[in-house]
Amino acid sequence: MRAPEVIRVLVAGCALMHTAARAQNATAAVVELTPAWINQLAQEMATTHPGMKAAYARTNAAAQNLASIRSWKDPMARLGGMLSKEEMRAEDGDLLYGIEQELPLFGKPRLARDVAHGELLTEQASTDYRFQILRRDLTILVFRTALTEEEVNIGQQDLTWLESLSQSLETRYQSGLASLSEVLTVQNERSRRATRLQTDRNRLDHDHFSLNRLLNREPQSRWPSLQLPPLARPVAYNRQLIDLAQRHEPKLKVYREQIRQAEATVARTRRERLPDVNVGVEGRNYTGDGSFRQGMVFFSLNLPWVNKHKYQSAVRREEARLRETEHEHQDYALGVREEVHELVQKIDAARREALSYREEIIPRSQSALESTQAAWQAGRSSLREVLEANRMLLEARLMWARALAMQYELLSELVLCCGLGDLEALEMIGVAPLAKEEHLLKDG
């Protein structure tokens, strides 16, 4: 078999390979990653993930704690007796009984409810923060799974091409038109590709395992074929992004609720310096004949002024904790601003890299492979140069897919920082996927 015939066989093999791949994709379940589809997964995770269930339990506990705050404390009953001479017991009564009640004065119950309400709001914000973190992790993992699947598809196409080339060269070698070195070179290349392909398949299997773990599904639950979305538009660093991040970043919301709770705790601690006032009634009966002898009404209070410095220390303690939370909030807010700026830079870099591979590197690599094949057909190039050109094209396609996936992973981080909720809200900052026809065809 001559070199032109080998080229025709390789071209026909590639055409059949691409046709079979398209037919397989048409029949298999393929899901293009969209915000709506990812939101469905996030809603499932919100109801099945053990961490979310724990967060809901903490919120419910805080709600029950708020409901348990009493305005009136339990009354205290008294029962006793008196030991004395018969005449004195008969005159004053020797059976003592009464009841005492603490009065809800100085707004202490209200302040206790304010603290409990602050705890509830903090737990609610923490639950939302936990959900946003998990949704970000889920989104990133979904895009990484789609990237791994793309790498598996590219590797399978390369392996098919190498197998076709190997068979053709073995036929040529038997006819004396190819050297043993060329045959062994292609066989080695095919073995390396088969090993890498199996590694990628194992990685894809683990990605599915991790997705099932996040959704609390059965570990071996099957997934459809995931397809990366088109390239997204650029993101500009502007005041709108910063304002969104400062107002809606989930952890900043947690800090703000913690500050309100700390302020309520300071107010309650200050009010604790005021005395607790009790009112009660007491009666006395004589056990000899059971007759009533006397009754009284009384007021009692503690004397907090004795421990004045202790109460002052308690107030200073809570004020220090309030300042700590405020400084933590300020530090994290500055960190969010820095993170938003860094993410915008990284998103821009990933997008420019993807455009570079789509518009320049992949077309040039295709042209290089075609020209190298033509030169090999004419006897002006070696088989190793053809393999190298094919390797360059495959690497360019992989780098394009990785840059595209990286852009969406970084966009997921930006969504979390801006508190937008999900990728559908990207339109709020002027980011939307490009039209499908602008998307690079994966077939090259």
pLDDT digits (tens, 9 = 90+) for 245-295: 898 899 999 999 999 999 999 999 999 888 888 999 998 888 888 788 888
Here the tokens at position 14 are: 């590639």
pLDDT at 383: 84
CB–CB of 264/115 below 8 Å?
A: yes
Name which of 256, 237, 236 is nearest 246 in CA terms: 256
Give the bridge partners for 281, in sequence order. Answer: 99, 297
Summarize pLDDT for 7-30 with one digit per residue, the tens. 444 444 444 344 444 434 433 478
> Are 336 and 417 a contacting pair, CB within 8 Å?
yes
The pLDDT of residue 125 is: 94
Q: Find where tokens 């360019």 sit.
A: 396
Domain map (residue ranges) of the chain:
3-438
Decide if domain 3-438 falls under CATH 1.20.1600.10.
yes
Query: What is the pLDDT, as a whole number, of residue 97?
Result: 85
The pTM of the full predicted model, rounded to 2 decimals, is 0.81
For residue 442, what pLDDT is reported? 39
Name which of 252, 411, 382, 275 is nearest 326 in CA terms: 252
Q: Look up residue 28 and give its amino acid.
A: A
CB 241 within 8 A of CB 429: yes
**Residue 161 near residue 123 (C-beta atoms within 8 A):** no
Write down the pLDDT at residue 5: 43
- Residue ranges, the chain, pLDDT below 50: 1-28, 432-444
Note whether 143 and 408 are within 8 A (CB).
Answer: yes
Q: What's the CA gap between 292 and 388, in Å, rounded? A: 112
**What residue has token string 């900043």?**
252
> Which pLDDT does position 431 carry in this prediction?
56
